[in-house]
Structures are given as structure tokens and as C-alpha cells.
């Protein structure tokens, strides 16, 4: 997995942990993010982290009531089913706790306690060794938690002891601070800072363009981020449309650019125009148009995203282009829309007509 994907996954996991009421230490252990970064970037002045130390205690399960023990066993069973299907532990923990919170209102234990249970169940995160395990009761067959290495006994099953009172020590009763808000339906659900949501969206957008082969300078232009240092560009300021390598030949557009490529650029410009009319953002429109046209002509040489971005920027006068350099004309013969350079020395001619006349030559 690429470093960018790992960072996005960590921030998304942190966002879900915040929604479930997790403390900073839990988020740090679960995502690998530094606590200082979590404090300054995951939270803000309006969204403060929960106070106090995380309730990490090994006797949590053994001191709580039978009802809570059964609920913890239900949660742990769901977690184990998810990991058995190949789901990563962090995502399995979040999903299992969300499932538990949707069934039990209010939850009897917090997300921090669920995190500590999973840590001891698998020997990860907050636990260096396994101290808990899931075992099936020999009488009812239901799974419940036991100390690691202990033999299952009917007397230890919380489901098979209905005669025992449900009273619990003071520690067993969930404190108000331990109640994790349910996502989506609870009016008191924890909200996530807008800056964190914006950061995740920005990273995801950057990653999508990178996967299309976009140059870092193009990615920075589309997302509004600062581009990394470029030794070839640092000596002088680049003016005009953002491009990588030699700029598009506008004066000899109809001759210097291959017929198939001009047809591809024209299809991208047409799709881009329609997406803008449908209220797409320009960056989303150019990405979607590029993906759409790339799938239309799988047998021809594909366009590069950087070159496609350069042409669209000069067609729509965006991203550094002061004025349009292309027009989208309608062919009177085939009625197709094609791009024509405003400064082309030759008369504009439709690339689609050439493809229709001699397809074997170009395709």
C-alpha cells in the first residue's frame, strides 16, 4: 500500500474513532498517528478530546455484570467473524462496535474498553501478549471471553447463569463518560471537525489524480495545494497554463498532433463541457471525462492525463490559462464536435471524418 493510502486510511480511522468517542491514546495506538498530531489536527477548539485516561483495566470483564459480560462476548464474536473474513483489525473493531451500539441502547461499555478487549484478544495495540480468548460454552454453544489458556466451563458462561443477580460492582456500571454515541441516529453523536473532513477529501482527491498518472505539479494545481520543489522549475517562475514537458503546439495543432489524439482530446472536451453543465466541479469534471474517454478507446494509444489537463485548461481558460486557446466546433459533415486551435495556421478539419474515411489507417 502506498504511503498516501496509508495516511488516508489512518485519518479515516481516526475520524471514525472520534465519532465513537475514543480518547487520544486509543486513536494513537490504533492509527499510529502521534498524539500531538491528533490533538492539533483531529480536534479543534469546538471539538475537544474526551478528558481523562482511557479505561484500560484487565479486570473490566471479570468485575462487570453478567449482562455486560454477555454483551462483550457478543461484540468480540462479531469482531472475530470480521477478522476471519480478512478485514483488518482496526476496521473490524470499528464495525463490530458500531454493530453492537446499534443493537444495545445505550452501550454498556465504551469504545475505549472495546479497543482494550480486542487488544488483549489478539495481543496487539495496547497489549503485548494475548490475555483473552473466545471460547464456546459446552452447554449452550455461545461464545464468551475467558482468560487465555483457561478451559471452558459451564459455570463461567454468562448465558447459562440466569439465576445469578445482574448486580455489579460500581466499576461494572458504565459511567456516563463511557457511553459511546451511536453514529447517525443519536442526536448527541460526536461531530467531526470540518478541517479533518476537508483534509481527508483533499488527500483522497490528490491520490485519485496520482493514480491517473498526474504529475505532482498538475495535482497541486488541481487541488490548490503547494507543489513540491522542482529543480527544473525553481530557477524561473512558470507563467501561463500548467504543463509538463513541451507545451502543446497550438500553431500546428492540426498537423503536429495525431488524428486519433485530436479525436480523443475532442471527446474529453465534449464530456468535460457536459459535466460542467451538470454542476460538476472543474477538477472532478476533467477527471471523469478523462476516465470516460480512456475506457471508450482501449485499443488505441491512451492519452496522458497531464496532456489532457493542459488541453482542457486552455480550452476552458482555467488553471493558469488567461484566455481560451481552443474552440469546440461542430463538423457540418459528421456533426461531431471537435477541438480547433485559435492560432492554427492550417484550416480546421474534423478528425472524426478522417477516422470514418480510413479507419484502418488510424485504428
Assess whether pLDDT exceeds 50 at residue 230.
no
Mean pLDDT over all residues of the chain?
A: 84
3-state secondary structure of 244: coil
pLDDT of residue 101: 93
Residue 147 has φ and ψ, to the nearest 5°, of -60, 145
**Grid cell of 144 as nine digits:** 464468551
**What's the DSSP call for residue 44?**
B
Contacting residues for 174 by C-beta, under 8 A, at least 6 apart: 68, 106, 107, 108, 109, 110
Could you tell me which residue, 165 or 107, shows the higher pLDDT?
A: 107
Region of 199 (left: φ > 0; alpha: ψ -120 to 50; beta: rest) is alpha
Of 26, 67, 25, the closest CA to residue 172 belongs to 67
pLDDT of residue 272: 97
**What's the DSSP call for residue 164?**
S
Distance CA 328, CA 270 (A): 8
Q: In this predicted model, what pLDDT tens digit does every residue of 155-204 receive, in sequence order?
A: 578 888 764 444 444 444 444 434 444 444 343 456 777 888 888 988 99
* Sign of torsion over alpha carbons 276, 281, 285, 286: positive
Q: What is the mean pLDDT of residues 283-302?
A: 90
Q: What is the pTM of this model?
A: 0.70
| Angle, helix 24-31 to helix 89-103, in steps of 10 degrees | 140
pLDDT of residue 137: 87
Whether residue 254 contacts residue 341, with contact meaning beta carbons closer than 8 Å, is answered with yes
Q: Where are the domains of the chain?
A: 3-178, 212-227+238-362
pLDDT of residue 14: 94
CB atoms within 10 A of CB 70: 18
pLDDT-derived band at 77 (thresholds 50, 70, 90) equals very high
Percent of the residues in the chain that have a pLDDT greater than 70, as a whole number: 83
Region of 213 (left: φ > 0; alpha: ψ -120 to 50; beta: rest) is left
Percent of the residues in the chain that have a pLDDT greater than 90, as a whole number: 53
pLDDT-derived band at 241 (thresholds 50, 70, 90) equals low
Region of 241 (left: φ > 0; alpha: ψ -120 to 50; beta: rest) is beta
Could you tell me which residue, 65 or 330, shows the higher pLDDT?
A: 330
pLDDT of residue 274: 97
**What's the DSSP call for residue 139?**
T
pLDDT of residue 148: 83
pLDDT of residue 285: 96
| Angle, helix 216-223 to helix 305-316, in steps of 10 degrees | 40
- The residues with which 133 forms a beta bridge, in sequence order, are 146
pLDDT of residue 333: 93
pLDDT-derived band at 363 (thresholds 50, 70, 90) equals low
Q: In this predicted model, what pLDDT tens digit does every residue of 28-46 receive, in sequence order?
A: 999 999 989 998 888 876 7
Q: What is the mean pLDDT of residues 55-74?
A: 83
Amino acid at each position: 500500500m502506498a504511503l498516501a493510502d496509508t495516511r488516508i486510511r489512518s485519518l479515516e480511522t481516526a475520524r471514525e474513532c472520534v465519532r465513537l468517542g475514543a480518547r487520544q491514546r486509543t486513536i494513537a495506538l490504533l492509527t499510529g498517528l502521534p498524539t500531538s498530531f491528533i490533538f492539533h489536527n483531529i480536534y479543534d477548539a469546538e471539538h475537544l478530546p474526551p478528558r481523562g485516561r482511557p479505561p484500560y483495566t484487565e479486570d473490566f470483564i471479570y468485575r462487570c455484570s453478567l449482562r455486560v459480560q454477555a454483551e462483550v462476548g457478543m461484540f468480540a464474536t462479531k469482531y472475530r467473524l470480521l477478522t476471519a473474513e480478512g478485514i483488518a483489525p482496526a476496521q473490524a473493531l470499528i464495525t463490530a462496535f458500531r454493530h453492537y451500539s446499534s443493537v444495545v441502547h445505550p452501550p454498556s461499555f465504551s469504545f475505549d474498553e472495546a479497543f482494550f478487549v480486542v487488544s488483549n484478544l489478539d495481543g496487539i495495540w495496547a497489549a503485548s501478549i494475548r490475555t483473552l480468548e473466545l471460547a464456546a460454552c459446552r452447554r449452550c454453544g455461545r461464545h464468551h471471553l475467558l482468560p487465555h489458556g483457561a478451559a471452558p466451563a459451564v459455570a463461567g458462561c454468562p448465558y447459562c447463569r440466569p439465576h445469578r443477580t445482574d448486580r455489579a460492582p460500581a466499576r461494572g456500571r458504565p459511567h456516563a463518560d463511557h457511553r459511546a454515541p451511536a453514529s447517525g441516529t443519536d442526536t448527541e453523536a460526536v461531530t467531526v471537525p470540518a478541517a479533518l473532513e476537508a483534509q481527508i477529501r483533499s488527500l483522497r482527491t490528490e491520490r485519485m489524480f496520482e493514480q491517473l498518472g498526474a504529475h505532482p505539479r498538475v495535482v497541486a494545481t488541481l487541488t490548490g495545494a503547494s507543489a513540491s520543489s522542482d529543480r527544473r522549475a525553481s530557477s524561473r517562475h512558470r507563467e501561463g497554463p500548467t504543463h509538463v514537458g513541451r507545451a502543446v503546439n497550438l500553431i500546428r495543432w492540426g498537423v503536429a498532433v495525431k488524428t486519433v489524439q485530436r479525436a480523443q482530446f475532442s471527446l474529453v472536451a465534449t464530456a468535460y463541457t457536459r459535466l460542467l453543465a451538470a454542476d460538476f466541479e472543474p477538477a472532478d469534471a476533467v477527471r471523469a471525462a478523462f476516465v470516460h474517454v480512456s475506457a471508450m478507446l482501449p485499443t488505441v494509444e491512451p492519452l496522458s492525463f497531464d496532456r489532457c489537463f493542459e488541453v482542457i485548461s486552455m480550452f476552458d481558460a482555467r488553471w493558469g490559462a488567461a484566455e481560451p486557446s481552443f474552440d469546440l466546433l461542430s463538423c457540418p459533415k459528421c456533426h461531431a464536435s471537435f477541438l480547433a486551435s485559435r492560432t492554427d495556421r492550417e484550416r480546421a478539419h474534423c478528425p472524426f471524418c478522417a477516422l470514418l474515411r480510413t479507419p484502418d489507417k488510424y485504428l
